[in-house]
Amino acid sequence: MADLLQIHEPGATPLPHDGEEAIAVGIDLGTTNCVVAISSEGKPEVLRDEDGEALVPSVVAYAPDGSAVVGGMAKMLILDRPEAVVSSIKRLMGRGLDDVKSLTGTLPYDVEPGETEGMVRLNVAGHRLTPVEISGDILAALKERAELHLGAKVDRAVVTVPAYFDDAARTATKDAARLAGLEVLRLVNEPTAAALAYGLDEGAEGIYAVYDLGGGTFDVSILKMQKGVFQVLATGGDAALGGDDFDHAIAEHFLAERAASQGAKVITSSEAKAALMTARLAKECLTDQPDGEWMISFDDIMTKHALDRETFEGLSRPLVEHTVRICHDVIADAGITPDDIQGVVLVGGSTRVPLVRQLVAAEFRHEPLADINPDEVVAVGAARQAEALTVGSDTLLLDVTPLSLGIETMGQMVEKIIPRNTPIPVAKRQEFTTFQDGQSAMSIHAVQGEREMVDQNRSLAQFALRGIPPMTAGAARIEVTFAVDADGLLTVSAREATTGVESQIEVKPSYGLSDEEMRDMLYDSMKHAKDDMERRLLAEARVEAERSLNAVVAALRVDGDLLTADERAAIDAALQTVTDAMAGTDRDIINGLAEDLEVATRPFAEKRMDRGIREALSGHSVEDFEDADEEPAVKAEESA
Amino acid sequence: MQADPTETLTPFTGHACPQECWSCKGPVALEDLFCPTCSTIQPLGQVDHFKRLDLEATFDLDVNDLDRRYFELQGKLHPDRFATKTSQERTLSMQQATSLNDAYETLKDSLKRADYLVHMMGQNVLPEGCQLISAPDLLEEAMELREALAMAETADDIDAIAARAAGDIDDCEIGLSKAFAGEDIEGACALTTRLKYLRKLTDEVRQQRAKMTAMS
């Protein structure tokens, strides 16, 4: 454990200089388990504990003082101290209470009463916590695991999310990472990450399906893989369907048996947690065993429950058939037939259930590929992508929007602006107009989903464009632009075209945290928030200064002959001072000197533009000019 | 698609006046994606979808060519290539990748491609575009097929309609290819309208088929 000595207190950590950039990690933040991996020089590695275990259970136990324990230790406390333990928190990310499944009418979470709007708050061991904070604690534990392993500070990560996660859940995940002190380089869709890992390691080419059934979410993606390009053709899923639902089905079955012998009773949320835990053990056991017997014990009454695989399959069949129907639609969306598919890759622990394998094989007409570890492959893909983003790579991920994005129009109808399965990044503009004479404001309501009516889809955000000058109905031209970035996050802007009145929002979902809440949490949770901010600003200053340096050096290489010896010496000196400053840690000095460099090179830039214009006018290229014999000129390519 | 105003101001053929690279301040041609001097990513040039992908403006597009060009360019322009660059470079990459996706999506699909070409070539000839169903026989055909779809009772009935529509779509695309090659803009416009309607019908057939499968 000599590595431990290498870890510095935040703030005391020497800042990374060029060439010794800290490694970025890949994190699979799952409903049931998490995995963290790294990749260096094309070789991914899953980080394990001293027992060789890669899976960190997504379970958090809180002590009365608010400190959190994450993973196996916390999981062991579920049966003893259920009121202090939270599991499956991912199911609440970006969600309202209506979206959460109850067990015989009881939620396996102790929800703070009186909260009907905005983000859910849970009562855990006397603390009031949001799903974002709890996920943040899980991410902080994973960050710590990576730091212990690497003996260095880790502050950048690629985090995976279910492809079918909506905008609210994606934003919540990014917020959670910020609370943990991690900058998210990219949110990558889980099936896409799995395909990346699988494709690179197995050299797969052609069209593949990834069937990803995790603890709480289901995704299926169809990808075309060729020569290092991973192009998602279509994706579909259900963000609220996973192994947890198998547990729920078994637990309901057990509790119904118990009610039959002991009489019906309303259970507490702690009892619900315990019953689900028992059901889960039963499910896992039935993967290999034909039958078994389990016990449920509360109120000092123990009941025994026998279950065989056939009964379990009867309970879970409707769920699995639902996933198969989704697969069917996604194949059609991709514009292919099952015969076009070379193979289907299974991801997620729930794909161990024999019934799942059987029905998936039938739908895709291929025995699924199970020669990968379904629990670790997503984290490996995330680590690969983290390396590609920081160090560079020839592979390319081209992903799509999982759900259509639209806007509310008259009569609560949805007008789709960006259809599902559109490659990202994407921006689309649509024009709307006013409905009444003299109308001065317009409400813009962004929704996500496939249905025709607003209330059947997820509401993402609502804002108003004000200051529209009085015009007759239908005369105003309101341009609404939806832009989805490479993380799958939406920005909506609106503009009245005749006057240019503008309004823009980054979508802050209805179930998300407000900016103030986020600021307070950051302040509370990170004592070193200021240091982290400083580090980030310094890193930005360095990147910017480096860009300026490279630009000037490149210009000198091509057009250096335009300068007199004195002018050249002055620029060289300015370059040197910026280079020296970059080795230091004062970002104001770096920024200031970089600006000075821009000023110092202004006359040089003018000479270069003059030359460029002269060449363009005469129709000559660089080689035809007088300096052609000085050196074998680097050909200025006509176009890329 | 509007021509770039700066292009029309330049009285010289072939060589547009160079722009200034935002990073090294050197000269850059309008169509350059990267500065020839310092290799920094440049803002979007105003070019049509075909030019953006460096393809000939034709309906008879080789889809493999399109994919190859698209992957090649996205490999240079995608935001994943700029994750650790300055915010200005990240913004430009996002804009470039967005426009590239738009061009790719438009050209990949035969209907969108036909629609785009008609607008590119014939916007002054037929300003109303291809929205109007003017041909009476097309209207009649549409009514007839809708009715058949509504009357369909078995999966086989629906599959027969789907097969007929698929055949009609193929014919339509062959016709479009000829029309564009012969610069028959009116013909291309009529066929585009017909293709639009056939696609819509195919969607409806698919939904009906899914409904029938779900009920059985």
pLDDT digits (tens, 9 = 90+) for A315-329: 999 999 999 999 998
- Which among B36, B81, B89 is the nearest to A637, CB-wise? B36
Q: Which of A137, A147, A175, A190 is catalytic?
A: A190
pLDDT digits (tens, 9 = 90+) for A351-375: 999 999 999 999 998 888 877 789 9
Instruction: Please answer yes or no on whether A551 and B24 come within 8 Å at the CB atom.
Output: yes
- Residue A90 designated active-site: yes
Closest to A138 in 3D by CA, of A272, A26, A31 = A31
Instruction: Please answer yes or no on whether A423 and B210 come within 8 Å at the CB atom.
Output: no
Question: Among A226, A336, A389, which would you mutate to test the B interface (most chain B Cβ atoms within 10 Å of its Cβ)?
Answer: A389
- CATH superfamily for B128-215 is HscB, C-terminal domain (1.20.1280.20)
Minimum distance, in Å, between the CA of residue B25 and any CA atom of chain A: 5
Do residues A380 and A423 both lie within one domain?
A: no
- From the options 1.10.3720.10, 1.20.1260.10, 2.60.40.10, 1.10.287.110, give the CATH code of B5-108: 1.10.287.110
Average pLDDT, chain A: 83
What ipTM was reported for this prediction?
0.83
Q: Hey, which residues does A55 pair with through a beta bridge?
A: none
Lowest mean pLDDT among A95-99, A398-402, B30-34: A95-99
Check pLDDT > 70 for residue A471: yes
- Residue A190 designated active-site: yes
The burial class, CB within 10 Å (0-12 / 13-18 / 19+), for A330 is buried
Q: Would you call A542 an interface residue with chain B, using a CB distance cutoff of 8 Å?
A: no
Whole-structure pTM value: 0.82
Q: Which of A517, A546, A564 is the last residue of a domain?
A: A517
Q: How far apart are CA A254 and CA A312, in angstroms?
A: 11
Q: Would you call A332 an interface residue with chain B, using a CB distance cutoff of 8 Å?
A: yes
Count each helix (H run) and each strand (E run) in chain A, helices first: 14, 26
Q: Tell me, what's the pLDDT at B39? A: 87
Q: Would you call A388 an interface residue with chain B, using a CB distance cutoff of 8 Å?
A: yes
Three-class SS string for A345-395? EEECHHHHCHHHHHHHHHHHCCCCECCCCCCCHHHHHHHHHHHHHHCCCCC
Average pLDDT over residues A503-529: 58
The full set of domain ranges for chain B reads 5-108, 128-215
Minimum distance, in Å, between the CA of residue A390 and any CA atom of chain B: 6
Do residues A292 and A219 both lie within one domain?
A: no
Do residues A469 and A414 both lie within one domain?
A: yes
- Residue A212 designated active-site: yes
Do residues A11 and A67 both lie within one domain?
A: yes
Do residues A97 and A187 both lie within one domain?
A: yes
* Residue recorded with tokens 């379904």: A374
pLDDT digits (tens, 9 = 90+) for A249-305: 999 999 989 888 888 888 888 888 888 889 999 999 998 899 999 988 887 888 898
Q: How far is the CA of B152 from the CAs of A249, B196, B212, in angstroms?
A: 39, 22, 10
Q: How far apart are CA A547 and CA A539, in angstroms?
A: 12
Do residues A454 and A540 both lie within one domain?
A: no
What is the phi/psi pair of residue A353, to 5°? -65, 125
- Residue A45 designated active-site: no
Do β-strands A478-484 and A442-448 pair in parallel, antiparallel, or remain unpaired?
A: unpaired
Lowest mean pLDDT among A174-178, A530-534, B198-202: A530-534
Q: Tell me, what's the pLDDT at A519? A: 63
Instruction: Please answer yes or no on whether A639 and B97 come within 8 Å at the CB atom.
Output: no
Closest to A107 in 3D by CA, of A271, A223, A306 = A271
Q: Would you call A413 an interface residue with chain B, using a CB distance cutoff of 8 Å?
A: no
Q: Tell me, what's the pLDDT at A102? A: 67
How many domains is chain A built from? 4
Question: Among B38, B69, B77, B81, which would you mutate to test the A interface (most chain A Cβ atoms within 10 Å of its Cβ)?
Answer: B38
Do residues A462 and A420 both lie within one domain?
A: yes
Check pLDDT > 60 for residue B44: yes
Q: Would you call A540 an interface residue with chain B, using a CB distance cutoff of 8 Å?
A: yes
**How many Cβ atoms from other residues are within 10 Å of residue A117's Cβ?**
8
pLDDT digits (tens, 9 = 90+) for A18-54: 444 678 999 999 999 999 999 998 899 999 988 889 9
Q: How far apart are CA A552 and CA A10, in angstroms?
A: 35
Q: Which of A462, A494, A517 is the last residue of a domain?
A: A517
Do residues A139 and A256 both lie within one domain?
A: no
Check pLDDT > 90 for residue A583: no
pLDDT digits (tens, 9 = 90+) for A386-416: 999 999 888 899 999 998 999 998 888 888 9
- Which among B17, B37, B38 is the nearest to A616, CB-wise? B17
Instruction: Map residue A127 onto helix, strand or coil.
Output: strand
Check pLDDT > 90 for residue B82: yes
Instruction: Please answer yes or no on whether A486 and B86 come within 8 Å at the CB atom.
Output: no
Q: Is A286 domain-assigned?
A: yes
Chain B residues with CB-CB distance to A554 below 8 A = 24, 35, 37-39
Beginning with the edge strand found earlier in the chain, give each strand of the sheet holding A502-506 in spatial order. A426-432, A478-484, A490-496, A502-506
Do residues A472 and A566 both lie within one domain?
A: no
Chain B residues with CB-CB distance to A422 below 8 A = 101, 105
Q: Which of A273, A300, A316 is the last residue of a domain?
A: A316
- Which among B37, B71, B98 is the nearest to A426, CB-wise? B98
Residue of A nearest to B74 (CA): A396
Q: Which of A115-119, A149-153, B13-17 has the highest mean pLDDT?
A: A149-153
pLDDT digits (tens, 9 = 90+) for B165-183: 888 899 989 999 998 888 8
Do residues A376 and A429 both lie within one domain?
A: no
Q: Hey, which residues does A70 pair with through a beta bridge?
A: A60
Q: Tell me, what's the pLDDT at A380? A: 95
Average pLDDT, chain B: 81
Q: Which of A75, A90, A273, A283 is catalytic?
A: A90
Taking only residues 61 to 90 of chain B, the set having a beta carbon closer than 8 angstroms to any beta carbon of chain A reads 71, 73-76, 78-81, 83-87, 89
Residue of B nearest to A618 (CA): B15
Instruction: Please answer yes or no on whether B87 and A540 come within 8 Å at the CB atom.
Output: yes
Read off the CATH number of the domain in which A176 is found: 3.30.420.40
Taking only residues 114 to 173 of chain A, the set having a beta carbon closer than 8 angstroms to any beta carbon of chain B reads none
Average pLDDT over residues A533-539: 78
Three-class SS string for chain B? CCCCHHHHHCCCCCCCCCEECCCCCCEECCCCCECCCCCCECCCCCCCHHHHCCCCCCCCCCHHHHHHHHHHHHHHHCHHHHCCCCHHHHHHHHHHHHHHHHHHHHHHCHHHHHHHHHHHHHCCCCCCCCCCCCCHHHHHHHHHHHHHHHHCCCHHHHHHHHHHHHHHHHHHHHHHHHHHHCCCHHHHHHHHHHHHHHHHHHHHHHHHHHHHHHHC
Q: Sorting pLDDT into bands at 50, 70 and 90, what band is A525?
A: low
Do residues A89 and A178 both lie within one domain?
A: yes
Q: Would you call B174 an interface residue with chain A, using a CB distance cutoff of 8 Å?
A: no
Largest CA distance in chain A: 100
Would you say the C-alpha torsion A363, A364, A368, A373 has a positive or negative sign? negative
Q: Sorting pLDDT into bands at 50, 70 and 90, what band is A2?
A: very low
Residue of A nearest to B16 (CA): A616
Q: Tell me, what's the pLDDT at A12? A: 39
Q: Which of A155, A175, A212, A244 is catalytic?
A: A212
Q: Is A126 domain-assigned?
A: yes
* Span between the terminal Cα atoms of chain A, in Å: 51
Q: Tell me, what's the pLDDT at A296? A: 86
Taking only residues 204 to 233 of chain A, the set having a beta carbon closer than 8 angstroms to any beta carbon of chain B reads 227, 229, 231
CA angle A355, A356, A362 (to 5 degrees): 90
- Which among B73, B74, B101 is the nearest to A426, CB-wise? B101
Do residues A347 and A383 both lie within one domain?
A: yes
- Which among A485, A554, A557 is the nearest to B94, CB-wise? A485
Closest to A509 in 3D by CA, of A175, A195, A199 = A175
Residue pairs between chains A and B whose CB atoms are closer than 8 Å = 137
Instruction: Please answer yes or no on whether B85 and A389 come within 8 Å at the CB atom.
Output: no
Q: What is the DSSP string of A520-568?
A: HHHHHH-TTHHHHHHHHHHHHHHHHHHHHHHHHHHHHHHHGGGS-HHHH
Q: Tell me, what's the pLDDT at A146? A: 93
Q: What is the DSSP string of A575-602?
A: HHHHHHHHHSS-HHHHHHHHHHHHHHTH
Q: Tell me, what's the pLDDT at B149? A: 81
Q: What is the DSSP string of A400-450?
A: B-SS-EEEEEGGGEEEEEE-TT-BSSEEEEEEE--SSTT---EEEEEEESS
Q: Would you call A601 an interface residue with chain B, using a CB distance cutoff of 8 Å?
A: yes
Question: A483 or B130, which is more confident?
Answer: A483
Taking only residues 178 to 197 of chain A, the set having a beta carbon closer than 8 angstroms to any beta carbon of chain B reads 185-186
CB neighbour list of residue A190: distance below 8 Å, 6 or more residues apart = A28, A160, A161, A162, A163, A212, A214, A217, A219, A347, A378
* Residue recorded with tokens 């698209």: B70
Q: Tell me, what's the pLDDT at A103? A: 64
Instruction: Please answer yes or no on whether A427 and B85 come within 8 Å at the CB atom.
Output: no
The DSSP call for residue A16 is P
Q: How far apart are CA A242 and CA A215, in angstroms?
A: 5
Q: Would you call B6 an interface residue with chain A, using a CB distance cutoff of 8 Å?
A: no
- Identify the domain containing residue A97 by its residue range: 2-242+317-398
Read off the CATH number of the domain in which A309 is found: 3.90.640.10
